[in-house]
């Protein structure tokens, strides 16, 4: 059996890649994919720990995360489509109409 540490390390790597992606990419869709990667890193850790402790709590949490992430996708994509209709561009660097 693969030890739980491996899963946790993998999830930490995934989380770090996701966080870096959010901070460095300029396309909202890719940023969004990176956020999903962060959430899935959490899911992986949850399932691994859940297996380690032999409880279902972690797995239940994963279901909640998946369901809520789906709702978030619906809202997020709608927002991105909406701004594309107005601006004809979704580059984050060009979203600069708010300044002070």
**Helical ranges in 1-100 per DSSP H:** 4-24, 28-53, 57-87
**Structure token digits, residue 15:** 């989380």
Asked if residue 13 lies in contact with residue 19, where contact means CB atoms within 8 angstroms, the answer is no
Q: Smallest gap, in angstroms, from Cβ of residue 6 to another protein? A: 13
Q: Smallest gap, in angstroms, from Cβ of residue 1 to another protein? A: 17
Q: Smallest gap, in angstroms, from Cβ of residue 35 to another protein? A: 5
Residues near another protein (CB under 8 A) are 8, 11, 15, 18-19, 22, 28, 31-32, 35, 38-39, 41-43, 45-46, 48-50, 52-53, 55, 57-58, 60-61, 64-65, 68, 71-72, 75-76, 79-80, 82-83, 85-87, 95, 97-98, 100
> In angstroms, rounded to a whole number, what is the distance separating the alpha carbons of residues 8 and 28?
28
């Amino acid at each position: 059996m693969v030890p739980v540490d491996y899963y946790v390390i993998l999830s930490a790597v995934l989380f770090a890649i996701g966080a870096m992606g959010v901070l460095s990419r300029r396309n909202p869709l890719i940023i969004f994919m990176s956020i999903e990667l962060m959430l899935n890193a959490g899911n992986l850790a949850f399932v691994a720990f859940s297996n380690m402790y032999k409880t279902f709590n972690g797995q239940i949490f994963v279901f909640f995360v998946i369901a809520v992430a789906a709702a978030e996708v619906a809202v997020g994509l709608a927002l991105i489509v909406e701004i594309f209709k107005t601006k004809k561009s979704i580059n984050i660097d060009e979203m600069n109409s708010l300044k002070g």
